[in-house]
Structure 1
Amino acid sequence: MKLKSKRLLPALMASMFAVGCAHTPPTIPPVASVDLQRFMGDWYVIANIPSYPEREAFNAVESYELKEDGRIMTTFRYRKGSFDAPLKIMHPVGRVIPGTRNAVWDMQVFWPIKAEYVIVGLNDDYSQTIIGRSKRDYAWVMARTPTISEADYQAALAKLKALGYSLENLRKVPQQWPEATP
């Protein structure tokens, strides 16, 4: 049994790596194109269908920085459970999928796993965006400001519904900032 386990472990790790690295076109429609330079910078998470670390996030902000080699260095900052909790930081790395006009990325939080990241909504002025996934398991409504109008929020929810999302697990992320934001 021990010998069999030793042979299975490399095969399991290789298959996990292949799954993490394989790219198939998204089944959720991305926006037509994204100007990466304009997309870079801070985005406040207004609402999401959260991944595990985000379930109790307060003051969540995702920041993007485009590197010369094409990688998108990401800093996700949040406080877990309250506005007064210690700041937590994660550093996923994004990579644009060639041929997607910058609208589809692989986002790697942990090696070797890469997650699909599809920009499915983006205002012309780059003030608001919606990120989705083909599995419709996670989604993010983000803006350049910590709040958006109720009309914009409802429009984002309608867009997610139209894309086939259930909004049952959608969570509005608490944002509370002094006048000068991060």
Structure 2
Amino acid sequence: MRIYIFSFLALFFLGCSTNHPTLKTVEKVDINSYLGTWYEIARYEHFFQKGCSDVNATYSLRENGEIDVLNQCMKGDRLAQAKGVAYATDETSSKLKVSFFRPFYGDYWILMLGKNYEYALIGEPSREYLWILSRTPTMDKKLQETILNKLPEFGYSSDKLLWTPIKGK
């Protein structure tokens, strides 16, 4: 099973190409303000999150400037965790590279970000991955609609979104 997962991720990270126009990110991200816990509101479903509810990610800064990533979710009655590392690719800090299986890295681009870092829309150039994140486990319906209305501008469709179940509340 490990070889299957490793092979898939290697193909994903090395083989992603896109025919989409350039994906626009936010102009600037203050990494220190971005640190902390984010709750997943919705996502494009992929095998590594299949069956996940109560999803969150916690980001913390390392002394060397890299970012520790701890993704957690409930799979049934079991807590599943994945630990990774990320780094900003330029001075805007809006484009990050994230790895859970070094040396393979994937794109993590911040497309929308609340003025007070209360929500974020995360995507990547192939448009295969998308996450709507919030600092709280639930999100205001009006804000959800605002984000959903912006998705086509980024080349995403809301049709593929899976709204993250919250079972632990």
TM tier, smaller: 0.7 to 0.9
Q: Distance in 1 between matches of 2:78 and 2:36?
A: 23
Q: Does 1:145 align with 2:162?
A: no
What is the root-mean-square deviation of aligned Cα atoms in Å? 2.0
* Aligned with residue 57 of structure 1, among 52, 71, 87: 52
Q: Does 1:174 align with 2:169?
A: no
Structure possessing the higher radius of gyration over alpha carbons = 1
Q: Does 1:128 align with 2:119?
A: yes
* Aligned with residue 113 of structure 1, among 96, 104, 122: 104
Give the 5 Å matches for 1:27-46: 27-46=22-41
- More displaced 10-residue stretch of structure 1: 128-137 or 148-157: 148-157
- More displaced 10-residue stretch of structure 1: 40-49 or 165-174: 165-174
- More displaced 10-residue stretch of structure 1: 148-157 or 31-40: 148-157
Q: Distance in 1 between matches of 2:50 and 2:24?
A: 26
SS in 2 for 1:168: helix
In the superposition, the TM-score normalised over structure 1's length comes to 0.78
- More displaced 10-residue stretch of structure 1: 55-64 or 161-170: 161-170
Q: Distance in 2 between matches of 1:64 and 1:94?
A: 9
Amino acid at match of 1:115: G
Note the C-alpha offset of 1:150: 0.9
Note the C-alpha offset of 1:177: 4.7
* Aligned with residue 152 of structure 2, among 161, 174, 182: 161
Partner of 2:64: 69
* Contact preservation (8 Å) 1:92, 1:110: yes
Q: Unpaired segments of 5 or more residues in structure 2? A: 1-9, 16-20
* Contact preservation (8 Å) 1:119, 1:130: yes
Bigger share in strand: 2
Q: Unpaired segments of 5 or more residues in structure 1? A: 1-14, 21-25
Aligned length: 154
Moved over 6 A (4+): none
Partner of 2:6: none
* Contact preservation (8 Å) 1:63, 1:74: yes
Q: Distance in 1 between matches of 2:168 and 2:148?
A: 24
In the superposition, the TM-score normalised over structure 2's length comes to 0.84
Percent same amino acid at aligned positions?
27
Partner of 1:103: 94
Q: Distance in 2 between matches of 1:52 and 1:112?
A: 20
